[in-house]
Amino acid sequence: MKLQGVLSAIVTPFDSEGQFDEPALRALVDQSITDGVHGFVPAGGTGEFSVLSHQERLKLIEVVVEQTNGRATVLAHTGATSSKEAVEFSRHAERVGATAIMLATPYYERIGFEEAFSYYAAVADATSLPICAYNFPPSTGLHLNVEFLLKLNEKIPQVQYVKDSSADIAQMYTLLGDYRDRISFLNGEDIIMLPALMLGAPGMVMGIANFMAPALRKLHDASQAGDDATVAHLWRQINPVIRVLGQGSYNSGVKAACELLGLRVGPVRAPIRALPAERLATLKDVLSKLDPSLLTGARR
């Protein structure tokens, strides 16, 4: 199955005691498919992977793959701070039936392009799954530029996708304009969604898909049909939500929106803090002004 369309950077639900809530995750997967997503990206940044235990990450991938049951693609994030652990996560994702794997480069101990190449090569040697390079320099300290991505694709043909959360518009223009036949661009940055859609980006990985999949599905379909007027009209409606989420902890905002709209996902895990009351009120206000058909049908 090809990775395309609306991929939900699915949150990891926790119960009131901060433990992984498997029934809530299964319910969220089902609701998201009903709402129109094409796929899921479990254990990514919006899934709070950095505060999950090793075993929780394994279980998370297993549950999402099992619950989708072939109804949607699963791009499992298997990036880690060591090649050894990334290989282990990736082999596990292949065993349980993930569609593809996404790899953020190691973080904290910053690396360069040579180390990053060896990291991707080690994972490619250990699994036959397609690989999506995850470019998020604010968290990893390494910007995967066009030259490096093309080298990955040439030397490691399994690298077929990039989830780009760098907000580097020039890079996006280059990848979509000159190299879309070599590496598939998945937009991972909410605020540049409009130009990505106008350029016909084949897919997006969005945290807001947890609660706003109907809007994103309409945007994607309009983009693929070349209906720029509809894209712009829908964008103007959802942009206020994106701006509110960008003012603080993104994960806290996404989970708060889910809860406001009837999706049981629980709190973020410490040390991340819940959305402050003032921002929660603002979020509630902007959501209330949206056409309900653009939001999850959890309460409809």
Q: Is the pLDDT assigned to residue 197 strictly greater than 80? A: yes
- Is the bond preceding residue 138 a cis peptide, omega within 30 degrees? no
**CA 143/CA 59 separation, integer angstroms:** 30
**CA 83/CA 106 separation, integer angstroms:** 8
> For position 29, what pLDDT does the model report?
98
Count of CB atoms situated within 10 Å of the CB of 65: 22
Name the pTM for this structure. Answer: 0.97
What mean pLDDT do residues 214-228 have?
Answer: 98
286 marked among binding-site residues: no
Which amino acid, one-letter code, is at 92? H
Q: Nearest-CA neighbor of 207 among 154, 148, 268?
A: 268
174 marked among binding-site residues: no
> For position 172, what pLDDT does the model report?
98
Residues taking part in catalysis: 134, 163
pLDDT above 90 covers a percentage of the chain that reads 97
pLDDT above 70 covers a percentage of the chain that reads 100
CATH (domain of 86): 3.20.20.70
pLDDT digits (tens, 9 = 90+) for 3-47: 999 999 999 999 999 999 999 999 999 999 999 999 999 999 999
- Residues 107, 109, 114, 119, CA torsion sign: negative
pLDDT digits (tens, 9 = 90+) for 81-115: 999 999 999 999 999 999 999 999 999 888 999 99
Question: How many structural domains does the chain have?
Answer: 1
Residue range of the domain that includes 224 = 5-299
> For position 299, what pLDDT does the model report?
83
